[in-house]
């Protein structure tokens, strides 16, 4: 039998063991507790994030649904048989051009992404469609049968029901057929798009309908229409030049003016010549001049461009020296680079078109340019006289500019 002393020892040993066990267990229990709590919090956080993402996704879907419902709520003023007739007419017109599309290349069969067509290929299609009696147009090409748009606008202005269809040939050869309608006091567009399969087989891509806020035909021949809502890949206000522009003026526009901006730098917005050329040289203009010279878009690293290419191009296109460029263009001698700020294409910006020109006795060319600003219903916003010196290698130099305000205030660009 255990005596009292032995029982005391055993009891003390048990107490010590229990104490030691508790000392080890409690931190372990606390560790497990806080691990579970952390896991719970993580799960809660994850759950909240998932819930938030689901709510955002749900909201996006609701927005999409709301947008679709807004589109679906637009009921065409055309009867179903009239819509089918417009679709069939567009497809038949395209079939008349099938031989012009035998070489068409489909780059993506899922979305029928097509290879770009040349300007001459598009011109031939515009001519063919025009020969069938339809209104047709493409970028940089005069509209065929534009008089029908004038008749439509005249009837609309008199409050009469009217409609006209414009066949626009896109850069990749697709047909965008917009039928402008005025019926029972309502302005609408009914749109039919025709795309192509290889071998020159036209197919109906899709149709849509939307309301217009207003239309306007300017004196110079710009048909400007305002959509009630922004259409996919479009703007609220869009336009066609319906009256023809002389081919020589169109060619001069494309070569000398189309690549320039009225809002990113002041080449076209202030008076200047060789005596004050430094005032118009800005770090935002080199990208456009580079593109005109090379046909490629400039890639800039760190907001700077190498001095060699910068100086080579700028001294060709402007009456300026390298020393002047060093002074006015943020030149850094240590890196031998210039500041260069690239702007992306801005919507609603005005653009210039050459409406006349004079060949001067000294071999220079004076271009008379009208600033067109469709977003403000203006085809005569301001006028420019730009003097050009052309060289045998195809390059040229901007020698001077004189600008005058007409219907709109001239944009002010701070250097």
pLDDT digits (tens, 9 = 90+) for 88-118: 999 999 999 999 999 999 988 777 789 999 9
pLDDT at 395: 96
pLDDT digits (tens, 9 = 90+) for 309-341: 999 999 999 999 999 999 999 999 999 999 998
Structure token digits, residue 368: 């008379």
224/22: higher pLDDT: 224
113/125: higher pLDDT: 125
pLDDT digits (tens, 9 = 90+) for 44-57: 333 334 344 433 43
Structure token digits, residue 165: 């269809």
pLDDT digits (tens, 9 = 90+) for 17-37: 454 444 545 554 444 444 444
Q: Looking at residues 160-181, what average pLDDT do you find?
A: 98
% of the chain residues with pLDDT over 70: 80
Structure token digits, residue 19: 């104490």
Q: How far apart are CA 253 and CA 260, in angstroms?
A: 10
67: pLDDT strictly greater than 80: no
Q: How far apart are CA 283 and CA 8, in angstroms?
A: 95
Per-residue HEC secondary structure of the chain comes to: CCCHHHHHHHHHHHHHHHHHHHHHHHHHHHHHHHHHHHHHHHHHHHHHHHHHHHHHHHHHHHHHHHHHHHHHCCCCCCCHHHHHHHHHHHHHHHHCCHHHHCCCCEEECCCCEECCCCHHHHHHHHHHHHHCCCEEEECCEEEECCHHHHHHHHHHHCCCCEEEEEEEECCCCCEEEEEEEEECCEEEEEEEEEEEECCCEEEEEEEEEEEEEEEEECCCCEEEEEECCCCCCCCCEEEEECCCCCHHHHHHHHHHHCCCCCCCCCCCCCCECCCCHHHHCCCCCHHHHHHHHHCCCCCCECCEEEHHHHHHHHHHHCCCCHHHHHHHCCCECCCCEEECCCCCCCCCCCEEEEEEEEECCCCCEEEEEEEEEHHHCEEEEEEEEEEEEECCCCCEEEEEEEEEECCCCCCCCCC
82: pLDDT strictly greater than 60: yes
**Cα angle vertex 123, ends 117, 127, to 5°?**
135
**Per-residue pLDDT band at 300 (split at 50, 70, 90):** confident
**Per-residue pLDDT band at 146 (split at 50, 70, 90):** very high
- Enumerate residues 6+ apart whose C-beta is below 8 A from 403: 268, 269, 270, 271, 382, 383, 384, 410
**Per-residue pLDDT band at 231 (split at 50, 70, 90):** low
Q: How far apart are CA 398 and CA 256, in angstroms?
A: 9
In degrees rounded to 5, what are phi and psi of residue 174? Answer: -65, 155
**Per-residue pLDDT band at 69 (split at 50, 70, 90):** very low
Instruction: Using the structure block, give the residue that is written with the tokens 């009837």.
Output: 155
The pTM of this model reads: 0.78
pLDDT digits (tens, 9 = 90+) for 378-410: 999 999 999 999 999 999 999 999 999 999 999
Q: How far apart are CA 365 and CA 399, in angstroms?
A: 10
Q: Looking at residues 3-10, what average pLDDT do you find?
A: 50
Q: Looking at residues 134-159, what average pLDDT do you find?
A: 98
């Amino acid at each position: 039998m255990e005596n009292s002393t032995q029982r005391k020892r055993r009891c003390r040993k048990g107490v010590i063991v229990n104490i030691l066990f508790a000392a080890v267990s409690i931190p372990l229990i606390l560790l497990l507790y806080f691990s579970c709590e952390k896991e719970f919090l993580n799960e809660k956080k994850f759950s909240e994030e998932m819930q938030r993402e689901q709510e955002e996704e749900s909201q996006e879907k609701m927005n999409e649904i709301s947008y679709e419902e807004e589109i679906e709520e637009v009921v065409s003023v055309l009867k179903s048989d009239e819509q089918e007739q417009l679709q069939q007419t567009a497809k038949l017109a395209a079939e008349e051009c099938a031989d012009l599309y035998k070489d068409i290349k489909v780059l993506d069969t899922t979305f029928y992404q097509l290879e770009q067509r040349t300007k001459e290929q598009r011109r031939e299609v515009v001519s063919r469609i025009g020969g069938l009696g339809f209104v047709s147009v493409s970028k940089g090409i005069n509209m065929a049968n534009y008089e029908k748009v004038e008749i439509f606008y005249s009837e609309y202005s008199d409050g009469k029901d009217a409609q006209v269809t414009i066949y626009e040939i896109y850069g990749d050869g697709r047909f965008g057929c917009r039928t402008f309608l005025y019926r029972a006091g309502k302005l609408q567009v009914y749109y039919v798009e025709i795309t192509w399969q290889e071998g020159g087989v036209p197919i109906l891509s899709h149709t849509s309908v939307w309301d217009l806020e207003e239309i306007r035909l300017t004196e110079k021949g710009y048909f400007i229409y305002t959509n009630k809502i922004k259409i996919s890949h479009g703007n609220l206000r869009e336009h066609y030049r319906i009256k023809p522009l002389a081919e020589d003026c169109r060619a001069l526009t494309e070569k000398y003016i189309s690549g320039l901006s009225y809002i990113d730098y002041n080449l076209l917005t202030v008076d200047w010549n060789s005596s004050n050329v430094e005032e118009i040289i800005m770090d935002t203009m080199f990208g456009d001049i580079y593109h005109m010279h090379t046909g490629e878009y400039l890639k800039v690293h760190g907001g700077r461009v190498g001095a060699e290419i910068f100086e080579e191009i700028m001294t060709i296109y402007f009456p300026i020296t390298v020393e002047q460029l060093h002074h006015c263009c943020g030149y850094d001698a240590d890196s031998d680079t210039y500041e260069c700020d690239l702007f992306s294409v801005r919507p609603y910006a005005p653009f210039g078109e050459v409406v006349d020109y004079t060949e001067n006795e000294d071999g220079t060319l004076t271009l008379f340019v009208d600033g067109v600003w469709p977003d403000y219903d203006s085809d005569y916003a301001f006028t420019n006289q730009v003097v050009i010196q052309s060289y045998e290698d195809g390059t040229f130099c901007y020698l001077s500019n004189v600008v005058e305000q007409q219907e709109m205030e001239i944009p002010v660009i701070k250097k």
